[in-house]
Structure 1
Amino acid sequence: MLPDPDSPICSAKGCRAAAVWVLAWNNPKLHTPERRKTWLACEEHREHLSKFLSVRGFLKDVVALAEWESPESGPSAG
């Protein structure tokens, strides 16, 4: 079965699973401190992608996709 084309998918290479996590990151050599880029992760790839970003000092936060999209608790709230 193919994933819903309107549903976010995991950023891991070749993965087509539904994303359930948002990995917020930035590269301090390229981005201002408040800038956040995002990768999406399925349950299976969350740890692998988090470690990849962490080793480089890029990972800033890991948030459930539902929380990230929620207007009450998302990155633009407040």
Structure 2
Amino acid sequence: MSDETPICSGKGCRAPAVWVLAWNNPKLHTPERRKTWLACEEHREHLSHFLDLRGFLKDVVPFAEWVRREHPAEEGR
């Protein structure tokens, strides 16, 4: 995992990401595939709404929890 601070996916935003928005486009992706956008507190609702309106949003998870799920071997380092 990189030491770089993840940043929000909001257009022009440079704030640290604290949320992961997991999504997929069923016309392009298999059901189990998850793409991700990162969000700061300010942009979480807007980005979630954008994805949800299109039927793409699957999950909204705190960034730290997402990292633990994706990299359980790195816990406690």
Give yes or no for TM over 0.5. yes
Question: Which residue of 30, 34, 37 maps to 1:32?
Answer: 30
Structure ranking higher in helix proportion: 2
Runs of 4 or more consecutive aligned structure 1 residues displaced over 3 Å after TM superposition = none
> How high is the TM-score relative to the length of structure 1?
0.85
Give the count of matched residue pairs. Answer: 70
Give 5+ residue unaligned stretches, structure 1. none
Structure 1 position 76, deviation (Å): 7.0
Map of 1:65 onto structure 2: 63
- For residues 39 and 60 of structure 1, what CA distance do their matches in structure 2 show? 12
What does 1:39-54 correspond to in 2, within 5 Å?
39-54=37-52
What fraction of aligned residue pairs are identical, expressed as a percent? 77
* Secondary structure, counterpart of 2:15 in structure 1: coil
* Secondary structure, counterpart of 2:42 in structure 1: coil
> How high is the TM-score relative to the length of structure 2?
0.86
- For residues 25 and 34 of structure 2, what CA distance do their matches in structure 1 show? 9
Map of 2:19 onto structure 1: 21
